[in-house]
Amino acid sequence: MGGMDKPVIRPRRLRRTPALRRLVNETTLRPSQLVLPVFVREGLTEPRPISSMPGVVQHTRESLKRSAAEAAELGLGGIMLFGVPEVRDERGSGAVDPEGILNVGIADVVAEVGDALPVMTDLCLDEFTSHGHCGLLAADGSVDNDATLEVYADMAVAQAAAGAAVVGPSGMMDGQVAVVREALDRAGHHDVVILAYSAKYASAFYGPFREAVDSALLGDRRTYQQDPGNALVGVREVLLDIEEGADLVMVKPALAYLDVIRRVRDVVDVPVAAYNISGEYAMVEAAAANGWLDREPAILETLTSIRRAGADVILTYWAAEAAHLLD
């Protein structure tokens, strides 16, 4: 037997046909793994296009319900609501008002889809404050962590009372998950899930989102969002949030932080989400509009890369379209 030639190794054998490629595919991408972020704006009578995010709009309450119904029909994993109020103040009062645009939007969507689609909510003050920061400001202009936590607790209860199945504390305040969990439990909302924005980085790719919510941001958020150069602190923040009661954890943005997604996935035993953010969406859309790449394959490749890095759930503005492409 010693004289036999070594077998020829041909990895391409497994790539020869679509059926063979499907057989050995390592990374799946399904509609149920995708969450659609949506914006609902107070006072609109028609959906308003967002110029830097082609195909994305600020919804009216009625168009929001239609979008949610479509998401449910497509079998998406969820819908994440962001509210855009007409009036803002220093304390972001609209965030806790039961009649505020986000809370009535939650109730509208829950009435429309029931339990067919998890209704998720952004739990942060930046859309509601006149200064655009994610928390209340101290006299010196810095964000007051502990005062902000008190408002987050009230926001969580208001969103849960409106019908949210999942709340997403996203302000990167220290202790936010523990405070939100305690407030929800104290109010009897024991079954409301916390999706913690645990590793949220100070990114250049948020620009289009700020148009989407008409952000009034003064300065930047580098004192509370994470430094783009640091991966270890991202893992540390995730572990802290899990200790405080997070049911899912999130890395945001996704594409520039695929390594962080992988590090997190390797060390935690809860589902990991990643947010394919506005700037990442806009880059592909702009390149496709200029004929520089093939749009639909680029969408699926982008989302597959996030899944391959370890994300169990992807928030993406392409969620509904990707579901059609995967059909």
Per-domain boundaries in the chain: 28-326
Instruction: Classify burial at 175, counting beta carbons within 10 Å of its beta carbon; exposed 0-12, middle 13-18, buried 19 or more.
Output: middle
Given the candidates 3.20.20.70, 3.40.50.2020, 3.40.50.1370, 3.40.50.1000, the CATH classification of the domain at 28-326 is 3.20.20.70
Active site residues: 200, 252
Does residue 63 sit in helix, strand or coil? helix
- Entry pTM: 0.95
Give the pLDDT band of residue 224 (cuts 50, 70, 90): confident
Phi, psi (deg, nearest 5) at residue 114: 60, -135
Does residue 250 sit in helix, strand or coil? strand
Write the pLDDT tens digit of every residue in 80-118.
Answer: 999 999 999 999 999 999 999 999 999 999 999 999 999
Supply the DSSP string of 155-206, one letter for each residue.
Answer: HHHHHHHHT-SEEEE-S--TTHHHHHHHHHHHTT-TT-EEEEEEEEB--GGG
The reported pLDDT for the residue numbered 218 is: 67
Q: How far apart are CA 103 and CA 164, in angstroms?
A: 9
Write the pLDDT tens digit of every residue in 186-198.
Answer: 999 999 999 999 9
Instruction: Classify burial at 283, counting beta carbons within 10 Å of its beta carbon; exposed 0-12, middle 13-18, buried 19 or more.
Output: middle
Write the pLDDT tens digit of every residue in 265-289.
Answer: 999 999 999 999 999 999 999 999 9
Query: Which of 254, 263, 249 is closest to 316 using CA atoms?
Result: 254
Q: How far apart are CA 143 and CA 222, in angstroms?
A: 11
Whether residue 143 has pLDDT greater than 60: yes
Q: How far apart are CA 241 and CA 235, in angstroms?
A: 10
CA distances in angstroms from 279 to 112, 212, 221, 253, 256, listed in the order given:
30, 11, 17, 9, 11
